[in-house]
Chain A
């Protein structure tokens, strides 16, 4: 049997790389590994058809010995379709597991009401924290009022106004 050395090398590289990647923990890498090894197996199957020949269509004046073996090509096509289906399923599975890892089982159950309640709570938190900030600033200002004399106080008030002006 004759076979293309390039294809043999390609197959070997795909097998090696695929198996190496498949041993990783991450599901996505396992999928990539599966794709590589799957294609390596497809090339292996294609190699088994022997030396390339004419298109496998028997017509007038076509010698049976000249055409390439169509059966492995049919096998490879079937295997590619199967791999496609499995890959689609795996991608869905990976997305799903990512979704669950990000949100937990609750990820599916976030409904409008809960979301509204969560929003309201966040808003309330924001108001509460900004009110606390305001109070703290006010108390600092009050404290500074008592300690310093008038000139400095005037200066401070001016700078505070400036600050406010710049803030606005």
Chain B
């Protein structure tokens, strides 16, 4: 029975965190625990993925309390693919941070709490993915947020605290929104079980639904960094240690996107906000990428592209069609890996070149061709250059949009005017090109430019003393640890695999989206004998 292993994806990281905390003084043992736990979760998630795809969703009623009363854990195809990709990503980043920690003599990750906190973050993320209960989803969010507060302010330097405060206050407000929404939803329906809510929310008057719907969207929108609620992100992510930024950028916003997918498909399928989502998706793309254009620092530049590319997913969700969701799921998977790979590469660039600013980097191609390859592949991928998954995902979204626009002249099934969809598709294409421009500019300056063209430079490595936020750490070692390169290379290979195996993955995403197309499917998973 595969369903019995479902709770392990949350329990293992939590127990691992406890063990790692006990082993606080013994770093190698801590690392071993962290890597072993995440490897185990990756295996479990992969098994779940295969099983769920073959035999249908796995449901666990904790403590054998039946669905509306107890805590329900649901792994359907969407949750399974999210579990697998996030487990792989968390594992790779942990290996990367172990490599960095060994090389730096633990200056970047100086405290014994890094590994336990990281595992708790993983537990929160996994819990959010498999939660079948709105309140459990909230708890998952709080676990991952609490851990992320600690990771973001790791070491407690002035800069990290300053940027961390922005992030923490924003997240606190979003949590309050979420909790209020849960309270009001419970008041209106008398349940917090997502499957039961799907039935009961539909019976509420449309205006009440709208308020509850918007409350949830605001809460998740802040977490996913959707346009009007996205301004906290580029200020708070770049100062954290490289592996932490990579995890945050790759994963945390996607948890928000995942929650929005659930909200739109299961909780409020009838209450239609797709036009709003499409408009917001378009604005998120454009405004995010325009911010990226002005950044000299690669970390900030990538943070802005992160915001911008969330827009694609919101657009795909807003289309509210099976093909739109298919493309969205594929895009989420693609974006998690690519964005993380880019941030990991940035960490390598920072070590190798001694800076992250366009003004201080040059001649990296000659100095390290391997690094150049590791940056080039995900950069082109993010920019949407044809063979790569970024291109495939965007084409998938545009095709979905075109179908939505073409479904009925003037207005598609969801009631969005077709011209609006065309406009957003155009915005998406423009965003893709601007992303490419911003990244190739960095490529030209940092990799192709000769070192002697760097004005007023003394040594590329010397620049790091002035430029890097943590001055001493970067110059501590000139060598780039093998483990970091291996971890980054692994993730880049994964991104390439997403391209090579795009066919099966798209088919899988299609089946996952099929499962989301009708909320009654989700309800019948949790209540095999019918609800009420």
Contacts and interface: CB of A to CB of B under 8 A. Distances in A.
A and B part of one assembly: yes
Interface of A: 1, 27, 30, 34, 37-38, 41, 44-45, 47-48, 69, 71-72, 75, 78-79, 82, 85-86, 89-90, 93, 96-97, 100, 104-105
Given A30-B169, A78-B135, A93 B164 contact: yes
A71 to B, nearest CB: 7
B156 A44 contact: no
How many residues of B sit at the interface, in one of the four size bands?
A: 20 to 34
A48 B187 contact: yes
B180 A44 contact: yes
A77 to B, nearest CB: 11
Contacts of B157: 100, 105
A139 B165 CA distance: 59
Contacts, number: 68
A12 to B, nearest CB: 13
Instruction: Describe B's contact surface by its main secondary structure.
Output: helix
Given A1-B187, A75-B186, 20 more contacts: A41-B176, A44-B183, A45-B182, A45-B183, A71-B186, A71-B192, A72-B183, A75-B135, A78-B135, A78-B139, A82-B142, A82-B146, A86-B146, A90-B168, A93-B165, A97-B162, A100-B156, A100-B157, A104-B158, A105-B157
B331 to A, nearest CB: 32
B186 A45 contact: yes
Contacts of A47: 183, 187
A85 B117 CA distance: 14
B66 to A, nearest CB: 14
A17 B190 CA distance: 29
A93 B172 contact: no
A45 B179 contact: yes
B70 to A, nearest CB: 11
A89 B164 CA distance: 12
Nearest to B185: A48
Contacts of A48: 183-184, 186-187
A37 B146 contact: no
Instruction: Describe A's contact surface by its main secondary structure.
Output: helix
B169 A93 contact: no
B187 A37 contact: no
B96 to A, nearest CB: 26
Interface in B404-448: none
A85 B135 CA distance: 18
A34 B162 CA distance: 18
A79 B179 contact: yes
B150 A100 contact: no
B158 A100 contact: yes
A137 to B, nearest CB: 47
B78 to A, nearest CB: 26
B477 to A, nearest CB: 21
Interface string B153-181: 10011100110110011001000100110
Contacts of B172: 34, 86
B173 to A, nearest CB: 8
Contacts of B182: 45, 75
A27 B179 contact: no
Contacts of B183: 41, 44-45, 47-48, 72, 75
A97 B186 contact: no
B508 interface: no
> Most chain-B CB neighbours within 10 Å: which of A1, A34, A82, A105?
A82
Contacts of A85: 146
Given A1-B187, A78-B139, A100 B180 contact: no
A3 to B, nearest CB: 9
B231 interface: no
A97 B150 contact: no
A99 B169 CA distance: 20
6 contacts: A34-B176, A78-B139, A82-B139, A89-B146, A89-B150, A104-B158
